[in-house]
């Protein structure tokens, strides 16, 4: 087997330059050659950056998820070395306090559960540290390096295990989910001790002196609780007792302890109705203030904070989404004006790592997926340290730019526009309107091409691709993200229509050849466009989307999030309003050919939502409709074959109805024509 693999590698190395010197545009197949940096972590001594590379799984392997390889970048020599390049996936990089070792979460070899592993920075084989009876979710080294704390659950209930062995396989919905407990693991004795029970720990950080643990906790290990009911506590590691520190009102993201232990910083929603945990707050330890008395350090700019790390006892470094841009800034706790380190429009990222004057992050641009970047604070300079996809230099990429337009009520809306690769002024082109999910998310002006984002693949076929950050998106502050509260798919969808008209008025777009597509909330908008606004769209693609708000709210795993940050009412309080915002209500008037796709294991938007839309359109609509199930997939596709199928199938749908002269009352062939040669040559 090993010999065959080596021969394949030699052949592929030989073929790749030929392929990409001939293939000058990005195709659906090329997406599965794209590598990208995911996690980065600066060592405590500031000499190294550990990082992971997402490597698409070859189609010659058994279908599954991508691999992640571990590398170390030497900041002194400017070179990278590989630590782990097996066909494995790993995450949550953590340096030992002495900077000699790097630990991570993975399932290596025959291990069936995610455990903590550690490797020497100079190389060698990974060593498994834990033997937890359930998967490890999070972990952190104690400041002195003698032990670590980690989060896991108790093993499967004994009664359940006994019944399964006898052939009884009934599942008790939600009641079988165990809490996320905090454990202490002594690295000298290799023994673990359970610290907490009766509540769930989602995130935590040791105090600088190692005597306390700052923890993000909720009463239950349910998705809705992790969204809406996480609060900040201090846990005594000697006995597991938790003490409330901050009673934040709603969504909660990162927490961070100041180096002197006197303050914490955290990213939170401003109130229970805020859809985004995107505001920066600081509290003293111990804290004697109510949440409403704490200063919101992000009030002075229109954006959302995405990550925080303390630079020193009085200064925080934070990243933020602002419009379609990413920024890196410094903020002093005295409340003075922030200092912008990396301004908008230069590189695009979500989080970062910081130690000893060095920042690292995975950053993208319109020309490349995420690469390793480092930023030297003393030199005030950032550098791209990797080039994972040199073959992209031989690919012609389309123009991409930030756009801004006014909505019908005067609100300023931002977005991203990709031009047809062969754009010629004076000609009209078809357009795909891509809708991001959420709606509390945003499109940035970085790399916008993935299995479920058509981007450069569509532009290479001479489509315009329009992406709107409609009202209710993140990246514009809490007031903007609340603008759809109790009013789903009305003014926010008008923002999309107004953006379309803005572009049509420029004379670039054939208004009769506009398609719409997206996943999750983007799938909801796509179904809405295909039904309520069917006259505007010649094709639609709805992926894991909502079709009936009434049944969706009673089948989702986030009913409280839906209530608090989107609707502000329960279905029984205004049944007509909830149904009025459902695509199935308007299915009878649809003239838009609609492709519906859904993972059969989706816990967020139940697959029955797609079945309802399909059945309503099939029975009452006036255009072709097709429903595609993805077995084993959830709220989005993770398996490589399902990803490729999605991209090929959706592009074929758009091509058929927006570009071809084929009869519009027919559909593309239900079976994809996937070339064995093209798949084999990927990687």
* Per-residue pLDDT tens digits for 242-301: 999 999 999 999 999 999 999 999 999 999 999 999 999 999 999 999 999 999 999 999
The CA distance from 443 to 438, in Å, is: 11
Determine if residue 312 is left, alpha or beta; phi over 0 gives left, psi from -120 to 50 gives alpha, anything else beta: beta
Phi/psi at 55 (5° precision): -115, 115
Is residue 411 domain-resident? yes
Structure letter (DSSP) for residue 537: -
Phi, psi at residue 279, to the nearest 5°?
Answer: -115, 145
pLDDT at 677: 54
What does the pLDDT read at residue 678? 61
Cα–Cα distance between 6 and 163 in angstroms, integer? 46
Q: Is residue 573 part of a domain?
A: yes
Give the pLDDT confidence score for residue 13 in this predicted structure: 31
In a domain, 648, yes or no: yes
Gap between the Cα atoms of 527 and 544, Å rounded: 11
Q: Answer positive or negative: Cα dihedral of 433, 438, 439, 444.
A: negative
Burial of 671 (0-12, 13-18, 19+ CB in 10 A): exposed
- Rounded to 10 degrees, the C-alpha dihedral 324/330/333/338 comes to -60
End-to-end C-alpha distance for the chain, whole angstroms = 18
- Whether 191 is in a domain gets the answer no
What is the predicted pLDDT for the residue at 11?
Answer: 27
Using alpha carbons, list the distances in angstroms from residue 155 to 159, 191, 212.
11, 17, 27
Q: Please give the Cα distance from 143 to 516 (Å, whole number).
A: 51
| pLDDT value for 679 | 59
| Angstrom distance (rounded) from CA 398 to CA 616 | 38
pTM: 0.94
Q: C-alpha 197: how far from its chain's center? A: 30
* Beta-sheet strands, E only, within 219-278: 231-235, 242-246, 252-257, 263-268
**DSSP track, 45-88:** TSSEEEEEEEEPPPTTSPS-PPEEEEEEEETTTTEEEEEE-SS-
How far does CA 22 lie from the centroid of its chain? Answer: 33
Residue-range definition of the domain harbouring residue 429 = 397-681
How far is Cα 434 from Cα 432, in angstroms, rounded to an integer?
A: 6
Q: Is residue 331 situated within a structural domain?
A: no
Distances (CA, A) of 268 to 249, 265, 274, 333: 8, 10, 9, 17
Q: Is residue 275 part of a domain?
A: no
Question: How many separate domains does the chain show?
Answer: 1
Longest Cα–Cα distance of the chain, Å, equals: 74
* pLDDT for residue 154: 87
Spans of the chain below 50 pLDDT: 1-20, 22, 681
- How far, in Å, are 33, 442, 483, 658 from residue 534 at the CA level? 37, 25, 24, 15
CB 245 within 8 A of CB 286: yes
Tokens 């769930």 identify what position? 200
Which CATH number do you get for residue 590? Answer: 3.40.50.1820
CA torsion, points 541, 542, 544, 546, in degrees to nearest 10? Answer: 180
Output the CA torsion sign for 222, 224, 225, 230: positive
Note every long-range contact of 232-237, with CB atoms under 8 Å and residues 24 or more positions apart, other chains counting. 232/264, 232/266, 232/283, 234/285, 235/182, 235/195, 235/196, 235/201, 235/204, 236/212, 237/149, 237/184, 237/195, 237/211, 237/212, 237/213
Could you tell me if residue 84 is inside a domain? no
495 and 407 Cβ atoms separated by less than 8 Å: yes
pLDDT digits (tens, 9 = 90+) for 169-208: 898 999 889 999 999 999 999 999 999 999 999 999 999 9
User: How far apart are the C-alpha atoms of 44 and 47, rounded to whole Å?
Assistant: 8
The rounded distance, in Å, linking the Cα atoms of 512 and 537 is 7
Residue 57 lies in a domain: no
> What token pair was written down for 175?
């009641």
Closest by CA to 95, choosing from 110, 107, 86, 83, is: 83
What is the C-alpha to C-alpha distance for residues 161 and 175, in angstroms, rounded to an integer?
Answer: 15
């Amino acid at each position: 087997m090993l010999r065959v693999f080596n021969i394949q590698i030699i052949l592929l190395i030989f073929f790749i330059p030929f392929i990409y010197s001939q293939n000058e545009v990005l195709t659906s197949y090329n997406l599965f050659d794209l590598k990208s940096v995911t996690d980065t972590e600066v060592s405590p001594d500031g000499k190294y950056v550990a990082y992971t590379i997402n490597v698409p799984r070859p189609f010659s392997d058994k279908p599954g998820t991508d691999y992640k390889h571990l590398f170390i970048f030497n900041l002194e020599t400017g070179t990278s070395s590989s630590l782990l390049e097996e066909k494995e996936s790993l995450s949550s990089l953590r340096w030992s306090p002495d900077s000699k070792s790097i630990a991570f979460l993975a399932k290596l070899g025959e291990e069936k559960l995610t455990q903590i592993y550690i490797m020497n920075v100079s190389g060698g084989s990974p060593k498994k540290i834990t033997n937890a009876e359930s998967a490890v979710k999070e972990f952190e080294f104690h400041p002195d390096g003698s032990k670590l704390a980690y989060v896991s659950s108790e093993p499967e209930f004994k009664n359940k295990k006994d019944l399964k062995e006898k052939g009884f396989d009934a599942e008790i919905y939600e009641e079988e989910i165990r809490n996320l407990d905090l454990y202490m693991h002594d690295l000298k004795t290799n023994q673990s001790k359970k610290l907490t029970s009766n509540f769930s720990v989602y995130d935590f950080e040791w105090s600088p002196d190692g005597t306390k643990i700052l923890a993000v906790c909720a009463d239950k290990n349910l998705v809705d609780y992790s969204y809406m009911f996480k609060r900040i506590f201090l846990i005594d590691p000697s006995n597991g007792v938790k003490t409330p520190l901050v009673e934040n009102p709603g969504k909660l993201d990162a927490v961070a302890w100041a180096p002197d232990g006197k303050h914490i910083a955290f990213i939170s929603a401003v109130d229970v109705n805020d859809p985004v945990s995107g505001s920066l707050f600081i509290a003293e330890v111990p804290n004697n203030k109510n949440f409403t008395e704490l200063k919101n350090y992000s009030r002075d700019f229109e954006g959302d904070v995405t990550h925080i790390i303390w630079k020193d006892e009085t200064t925080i470094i934070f990243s933020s989404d602002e419009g379609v841009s990413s920024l890196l800034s410094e903020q002093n706790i005295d409340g003075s004006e922030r200092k912008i380190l990396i301004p908008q429009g230069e590189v695009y990222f979500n989080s970062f790592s910081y130690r000893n004057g060095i920042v690292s992050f995975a950053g993208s641009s319109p020309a490349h997926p995420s690469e390793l970047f480092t930023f030297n604070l003393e030199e005030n300079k950032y550098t791209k340290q990797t080039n994972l996809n040199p073959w992209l230099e031989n690919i012609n990429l389309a123009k991409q730019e930030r756009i801004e337009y006014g909505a019908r009520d005067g609100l300023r809306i931002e977005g991203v526009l990709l031009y047809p690769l062969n754009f010629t002024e004076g000609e009209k082109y078809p357009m795909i309107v891509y809708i991001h999910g959420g709606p509390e998310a945003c499109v940035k002006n970085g790399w916008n091409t993935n299995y479920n984002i058509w981007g450069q693949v569509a532009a290479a076929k001479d489509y315009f691709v329009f992406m709107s950050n409609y009202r209710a998106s993140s990246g514009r502050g809490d007031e903007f993200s609340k603008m759809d509260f109790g009013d789903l798919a009305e003014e926010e969808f008008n923002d999309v229509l107004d953006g379309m008209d803005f572009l049509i008025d420029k004379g670039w777009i054939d208004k009769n050849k506009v398609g719409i597509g997206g996943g999750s909330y983007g799938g909801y908008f796509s179904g809405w466009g295909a039904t309520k606004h069917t006259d505007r769209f010649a094709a639609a693609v709805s992926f894991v989307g909502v079709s009936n708000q009434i049944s969706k709210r009673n089948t989702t795993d986030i009913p409280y999030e839906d209530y608090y940050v989107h609707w502000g009412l329960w279905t029984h309080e205004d049944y007509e309003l909830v149904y009025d915002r459902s695509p199935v209500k308007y299915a009878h008037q649809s003239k838009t050919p609609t492709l519906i796709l859904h993972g059969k294991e989706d816990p967020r938007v139940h697959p029955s939502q797609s079945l309802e839309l399909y059945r309503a359109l099939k029975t009452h609509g006036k255009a072709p409709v097709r429903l595609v199930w993805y077995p084993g997939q959830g709220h989005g596709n993770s398996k490589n074959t399902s990803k490729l199928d999605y991209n090929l199938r959706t592009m074929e749908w758009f091509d058929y109805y927006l570009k071809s002269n084929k009869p519009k009352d027919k559909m593309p062939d239900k079976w994809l024509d996937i070339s064995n040669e093209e798949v084999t040559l990927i990687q």
